[in-house]
Structure 1
Amino acid sequence: PSVIGSMALLTPPNHCCICVSPYIAPSLTELRQILWTNRKPVAPVNQVWPNLYIGDESVARDKTTLSSLGVTHILNAAAGRHRINTGQRFYSDLGVEYHGVEAADHPEFNIQPFFRPAAQFIDSALQKNGKVFVHCAMGVSRSGALVLAYLMICRSLTLVDAIIAVRLNRDIGPNSGFLEQLRQLELSLRPQSRQLTEEEEHADMS
């Protein structure tokens, strides 16, 4: 069955009403299928949304490429002393705004508290016609998760639609823990939504 809720139009004799069935949040299995089907080699950087780029560490350190792209804002999803330790000072000669997220690419890492601050940073930049470069080490898991959160929070996309939109231009792959946290974000953004029951999930897989 589709993960998108169906809509039925009911027309009683004296009035009309639109009845919308609850949106059913996709299972982790369904999300993995969407993410890992027909994958292509990942380039160092891709534009995944107007003026929004995802890339890897090599591009994050390549000021010539960043300048040629016209990047005005950088979101480092792998910030920190023992990860990609760039920071505002590293980019001082480019005149860009920098935001660092000290996230570890482990399923047990709690990345959810960073969803809204990262989304606000991206949205504020795009509202000012800026160009945002979001990166982690490979430009796949941490950066992918934060960009998906932005599309869900600020562009009102469902998680599935956000994944599909990004994958048109870049294959991302948030780890299983990040995917589950994105599922929880979706449930919080869509109060009428629900998760599949175990019985429904097993029936969907059979």
Structure 2
Amino acid sequence: MNYKTAYITLIMLAGNLISCAQSEIPKNFKEIKIPQKNSEQTRKLNYSRNEYKVSFENNKLKVENYSSSRNSELKINNGVLKGYNHGEWGGKLLFEPNDKTKKEIEIKEGNILFLFNYNNKIYFIEGLAHLSVNEGFLYELQIDGDKFSYKKIIDFGDCPGAYTIFKDNIYVASYQNFYKIKNLKMEILYKNDFWRSLYPNSIAIKNEEKVFMGIRGGIVELNLKTKTKRLYISKV
């Protein structure tokens, strides 16, 4: 192999490495500097008409416009659990039996944000961020026939906006924090961060170094190993 061939080979290898290290972010987004709290840039993001939802589809990051849903459902053996979230006007958790001769059962009052199965048990997340109130909780739902009870597992101290389950851990993005829940023990990975008032709505995880969060006005990229963060907004 002569020097010219070796040089071309090195250039090609370097190009491949750069390509592999490129961001997952779509080309119609650009990175901007993380804004300071209460800055003009934060205000612009807060008043943005665009909210972006993130997910992985065929191992590729998908970004689309977010459409809010205040209700959640989870089918169980003999009926459907229904969670309602009406913000400052409250909400509730109901059970609607498959047997229509039976009445629905109100299990709990409160703003029910998410219902999900985890390790063969049923959990729900409740929360509210309004005026001076900013709270959120994780509950385990217990079912014995037609009887329902629940116990509080975690007090977030902040209102959750999105969650996902990745490699048997629960990740929660809240009003201003980001949590990892392992074996039902909570760890705060990012606290009092810049997305306060930007309302996280979705989390997409490729690995611990590639974690994405959809918010109002943009997309956040987190590296949970280095605890770094990046912000992207639309070029349009």
* TM-score normalised by length of structure 2: 0.29
Q: Which has the higher contact order (CA 8 A, sep 6+)?
A: 1
Larger relative helix fraction: 1
The structure in which a higher percent of residues are strand is 2
Specify the structure having the higher radius of gyration (Cα): 2
